Chains A and B, each alone.
Chain A
Amino acid sequence: MQPGQQPYYNQDPWGAQQYAQAPQQPAQAQGFFVPQQPAAYGAAAAAPPAQQHGGYAPGPAAPAAYGGSYPASQGGGYPTSPSSYAAAGRPGTFVPQQPQAPQAQPGGGFGGMESDFLSGVAGNVLRQQGQSYLQRGQAFMQSKMGFLSGSALHYHFSITPEYVRTKLLLLAAPFLKRWNYARHAEQISGGHKYLPPRQDVNAPDLYIPVMALWTYCLLLGVAALARSGPNGGFKPETIYNSVSSGSTAWLLHTLLLKVILYLLGIPGAVPILELAAYSGYAFVAACASLAVQLVTGSGTAYHAVWAYGSLCCAVFLVRTMKRVIFQEARTYSIDSTRHNYLLLGLALFQFPLNAWLARLPPVPAAAAATVKAAVNQATEQLGML
């Protein structure tokens, strides 16, 4: 129903008016079938197409009227049975509707659309229910979407390019004297809050680990591309495999850190997202190892980079965990030999982890030679430019 238009139906859902009035106007009924009655909804729907065909349903069929005309129109000759049509006619509402009928046409397109699908009473009930479900779903999503702004995820992603550069330098060159791994805290009511990564280079972020994981998966794809033959060969499935194995490795590394904290008796010291950030930094070293392996193959250079990268990761993780443990040791007492051994174990674990992440299938000798040749050719061409 279009806004601003009067409801066409009268207050007479059962068409009792027709019983009060004499049946008449067959000519009108024939020429202009505009069904009004609520009960005649189906007929109304049928009417316009019927109009075109020149026949029409014995439209606004009130029960009694219709029942009365049933035998008469049995033969299907409704255009020829004005009596049945008149009986079915609804003079009370019929006449006023005619002037309004043209108005219905512009809006008719849209109205017709929805009445085809969810029509009538049940359709409206369904439509309203659907809308209420939709609104509830939207409210639910709004409440859940807060994860993008006020929460821990946003804290870990609030970075700047300077932070990224400094952090990568910290990860790559831990021997420089300028690093202390203490996070800066500011006092707020009820405790202290650590500054976000924007303001504190020691704060863990999730941007670098996610990018490192993504780079790692792509580098595995590039490695598969560069190696043809039975072991190599890039297919899109390579990316899926690398994503799942990389994500699983990240998850297991995070769980390892969590287990270490449990064994030390301080399970709640660090939220799990921060542990995920710390363990994700290992992917930076894995990417470096992979890149070297792509360029030079698994020779001395790769081993050197692997060893150095694992060492840097180990140093970073041990120092970070030490800070956390000493922070907690003020309130709890922590067995110092136990935590030394656990941290040593963590440091030693970085080496096989890095090797496993950066593993590539061994290249057959001929393919390795072609890869080397391609790389040399590329460097020559670049040198000539």
Chain B
Amino acid sequence: MTDWQVHQRHPTAQQPGGGVEWYASSTGAAQYGAGSYGYEMPASGGGGGAAYGSFEDEAPLLEELGIDIPAILSRTRSILTFRLAGHDMANLDMGGPLIFMAMLGFAHLLVGKMHFGYILGWMVVGSGLLWFVLNSITGTEDPDAKQLDLYSCTCLLGYALLPLVGHALLALLLPRRSVPSMAAAALAVVWAGQTASRLFCRRSPLLDGQQSCVLYPCLLMYSSFALLSLY
């Protein structure tokens, strides 16, 4: 069977030997159809992609990855300007949070702290905890509750992390563990927590009237990130 794979890649080599294996598995001849039919590749169309479509026909990398930079920027702008009711925040993606977390990590790296693992790990744990708490508060049988699935929670919390990224960059300029940097941290935490809880309440009508119950866990989660920035 491995010879198959080899021969798919190197068709010009050792054909006679390979041929013997080609009909070794005789069952389900129908299934060959799918595979070999699919292999009638556009060999024309030039470029280097011999087996997977031509090079020029491929989508650009960012599009393939699903990272839409203009949308991320518009969401960033709406978070920074408190315009959370817009349609920007309706569908979230993970690209923005990943970029923010990378920026936070780089800000820490500039003072010699290698925190990428901590940031990613704490984000995962924090959003898992928050997802658990929110879904336990609202229950999951209501159809509106599907707005609060784990992916949306993580994306939302990641987007609301933006003020903390700002604080991390600001803390590069202030002396460590001084009163101004701690005050800025408190401010950033409150800003991020308010943004996150408002976004959550907007996303799910089941959380109406529960904003302070949602706000407190968000504050706790972002405080841990602030602790990472401050020490």
Contact = CB atoms under 8 A, between A and B. Distances in A.
A283 interface: no
B128 interface: no
Interface stretch (A142-150, A327-335, A353-361): A142-150
B112 to A, nearest CB: 14
B51 A38 contact: no
Given A42-B4, A122-B1, A124-B28, A48 B37 contact: no
A13 B29 contact: yes
Interface residues of A, number: 95
Contact of A161 (B27, B132, B177, B209): B209
A287 B114 CA distance: 30
Interface string B20-39: 11110111111111111111
B8 A45 contact: yes
B7 A57 contact: yes
A120 B35 contact: yes
B139 A121 contact: no
B137 interface: yes
A217 to B, nearest CB: 8
B137 A381 contact: no
B11 A211 contact: no
B195 interface: no
A21 interface: no
B32 A41 contact: yes
B217 A211 contact: yes
B36 A122 contact: no
Contacts of A66: 19-20
Contact of B228 (A104, A108, A148, A236): A236
Contacts of A83: none
Interface in B40-87: 40-43, 50-53, 57
B16 interface: yes
A61 B33 contact: no
Interface string A40-82: 1111111111111101111001110010001001101010000
A1 B33 contact: yes
A188 interface: no
A50 B9 CA distance: 9
A123 interface: yes
B36 A35 contact: yes
B30 A381 contact: no
Contacts of B217: 211, 214
Given A124-B31, A158-B137, A108 B12 contact: no
A158 B139 contact: yes
Interface stretch (A109-117, A178-186, A263-271, A310-318): A109-117
Contacts of A124: 28, 31, 34
Interface string B132-145: 11011101110000
A218 B193 CA distance: 15
Most buried by A among B9, B41, B220: B41
7 contacts: A44-B36, A51-B43, A52-B43, A62-B23, A108-B53, A112-B53, A121-B25
Q: Which 3 A-B pairs have the closest CB atoms?
A: A111-B38, A44-B36, A13-B29
Given A221-B227, A239-B227, 4 more contacts: A43-B22, A44-B39, A111-B34, A234-B231
